[in-house]
Structure 1
Amino acid sequence: MSKKLLSVSVCAAGLMLGVSHSAWADLLIGVAGPMTGPYASGGEQMRAGAEQAIADINAKGGVLGQKLKLVVGDDVCDPKQAVSVANTLVNKGVVFVDGHYCSSSTIPASEVYHDAGIPMATISTSPKVTERGLANIVRVTGRDDQQGNVAASYLARNFNGRKIAVVDDKSAYGKGLADEVAKSLADQKAKVSLRESITAGEKDYNVLVSKLKAAGIEVLAYGGYYTELGLILRQAAQAGLKLAVMGGDTLTNTELLSAAGPAANGVMFTFGPDPRKNAEAKDVVERFRKAKIEPDGYTLYSYATIQVFAQAAERARSVKPEAVQKALRNGTYSTVVGPISFDSKGDLTRPGYVVYRWSGNQYGYAN
C-alpha cells in the first residue's frame, strides 16, 4: 500500500471514529437542587424524577439516537453554592439543566447558564425567575403571584372575620409568596392583623409563637419551607396555640409531618392539580411505586422537565443547546403533568393552582 493510500485510509478511519463517537456520546443533563441540608428531601424528589425520566427515555432509544446521562449538582439551597454548581455543570458540558429548587438559588444560577447558552427548566416559583428577560429559562410550574392569589382567596372565603397573620422566612421564595398573599388579602378586604418574618435555620421560634398568641391570631399564612414551619407548629401546639395554616407548594413534602408531628394535620397549601391522577402519568406512577418511591411533590414535575427537553430536541432536530433553547417556547409538550406550553417569558400558559389539606400522612384536595 502506498503512503498516500495509507494516509487516506487513516483519515477515513479517523473520520468514521469521529462520527461514531459523536453519534453515541452521552448527552449530559444536569439536575441541581438541595441534595443535602435541611431541604434535601425536595432535592431527592427532583433527582428521582429526573433519573426515572432518563431511564425511560433511554429505554426507547434516547434522544435523536443519543443516550442521556444525569449529572447531579448539590446547591444546599444556598445562592453562592448554586453559582458554583452552575459553573461546574457548564464546565462538564451539560446540554440542559433541570433546576434549581429554591428560587434564591435558581435566580443567580440561571445567569451562569444564560451566559453559557445552556437552556434550563425550573420549578422555582418567584416571579423574578422569568421577569428578567432571560431567553434560556422556562418554568414548569406556576408563580408566587398566582398561588398567592389562590391562597388568599381561599382564606378570605373560608376564614372571613378571623385574625390572620402573614409570616415569611426572608427567602426569595418565602417572602415573595407571603407578600403576594398579603397583597391579595388586602385587595379582597381581608385584614392582616400581624406581619412578621423569621430567620430560616433556627430551632426556637417561641418568640414568634408568643407574638401570635398575644395578638389572638387564628390563621397563619406562611411563606417559606416545610422545615421551619414544622418547628413553628410544634412549638405553637406546645404553647396551646391552635392555628389554621395556609402555605405554599413546598408543603407537599412529607418532611413537614416529621417536623410538626400531629400539628401538621389540617395544614393547607397551594399546589398544581395532583399529577399522580393524570391518565398520562399512570404507567410512570406505577413504576415509581414498584420501586418503593411515592412520586409526590415535585417528583413528576422533574420527570416532565426531562420530557420537555427530549421533545424540544426532537422538534429542533438537534441536541445543541442553542437549538433546544429556540424550540423550548414553541409548541405544546406532552408530559406526565399534562400538556405544557410556555409564554414569551417562559412561564406556563395555563399554570393552575388548587388548595390541598394534610390529613394523617397524606394530602388531598381541600373542600
Structure 2
Amino acid sequence: MKPDQIRVLDRATVMRCLDEIDPVTVVESAVCAHTQGHSELPAEGYMAWENSAGAYTRSVAMLGAVRHGPGTAYGMKLINASVTNPSLGIERAGGFSVLFDPETARPVTLVEAGHVSALRTAAYTMSTLRHLGPAHFDAVSIIGCGTLAAMHARLLRQYFPAVREIHLFDLDPNRTAALARQMRAECPELKATEHQDLESCVRASPVVVTLTVSSEPYIPPHWLASGAFVAHVSLDDVLPAVFREAEAIYVDDVDLVRDNPRRILGAVMQAGDVVADPETAAAEGRALARRYGDVLLGRAEAVRPRDGFVVSNPFGMAILDVAICQEVAVQAAEAGLGAVVDLLGDPARAHA
C-alpha cells in the first residue's frame, strides 16, 4: 500500500484470517518475548464515567510493541465498554486495534478489536491450563456467561477434547441459559450444566475460570477443591485469602499487576501479603507471585496444583492483541482482504 493508506478489517474478515492462525502459539510467543525484555508497554490511558443509566462505562487505550518473527510489531488497542451494553443487545466491550508501520509510524492496519481481545484472553487461559492446570480434568466451571465465556468454551473444545462438561453461572440466569443453549447447539456432545447458585458452580470442577465484571471479591478458598486451578481472568473475584493460601500464583507481568489499583491481587501485593521475590517469600512465609513467561521459557519448573490450588492472574497485556493482529494483517494482505482506505481522501488512490 501507499503511505497514508490503511487496511480496514471487520470482524468477519478477522475471523477468516484467524482460521489460519494458532492463537495459543502466538500468545505464548508474545509472553516469552515480553519476559525476555523484547517488548514495550507504556502506561495505559484510562477514562471512566457513568452513562445515562448510571452504569460504569470506560475507555482504555493501550500502546504496545513486541518482538514478532524477524521484526517488531507496533500498535495500539482501544477497547471501550459499558456494563449496560448487553441489555441493548450488544457486547459489553468493543473497539479497534491499529498496527503501525515500523519505519514511518503511520497506521497501516485497523482491526476490529472485540473478537481478537476475547480470543487472546481465552488463548492465554488455554496456555496456562496446558502448563499449570491439573494433569487430568474433564470438567470446567465458568463464572460469568458473556462474550469471554463463549470464547473460552469454544477454545476448551478445541484444545482440551477430554473436557466433557462445562458448569455455568451468571448473576443473570438469562445469560447462563443463553450460553448453555449456544454450547448445546455448537457441540452437543459437551454437557452444559446451568447452576442457580455460585458456590455449587465453583465447587463442581477442578478448573474455575472467572469472567465477570465484579468489583467486590466473593470466592473464598474453602470453595476450591484440592488440586484446583483458578484462571482469575477478571479483576476482583477471589478473596485475598485465596492468594495468601495458594500453592502458586502466576502472572504475566509482576509490576503491572502489583501497580494496578483496580485489581484485588494488586492490593494484596501492595499490602505485602504476596511478594515477587523468592527469598522474601521463603524467609517470611509469604505467597510468591511467579512470572508465567519463565515457565514457557524453561527457566522455571511449572507448579501444578497438588493438595491445594494454583492461581493464574494475568494483567492482560495489549502486546498479545498486537501480536495476533500482526498475524491477521499478514494473512489479510496476502489474500487481498479488507478495505484499503486513503486517509488523505484522494479518490484516485482509494480502492477496496
TM-score band, normalised by shorter chain? 0.3 to 0.5
Return the structure number with greater helix share. Answer: 1
TM-score (norm 1): 0.35
Return the structure number with greater strand share. Answer: 2
Higher relative contact order (CA 8 A, sep 6+): 2
TM-score (norm 2): 0.36
- Structure of higher CA gyration radius: 1
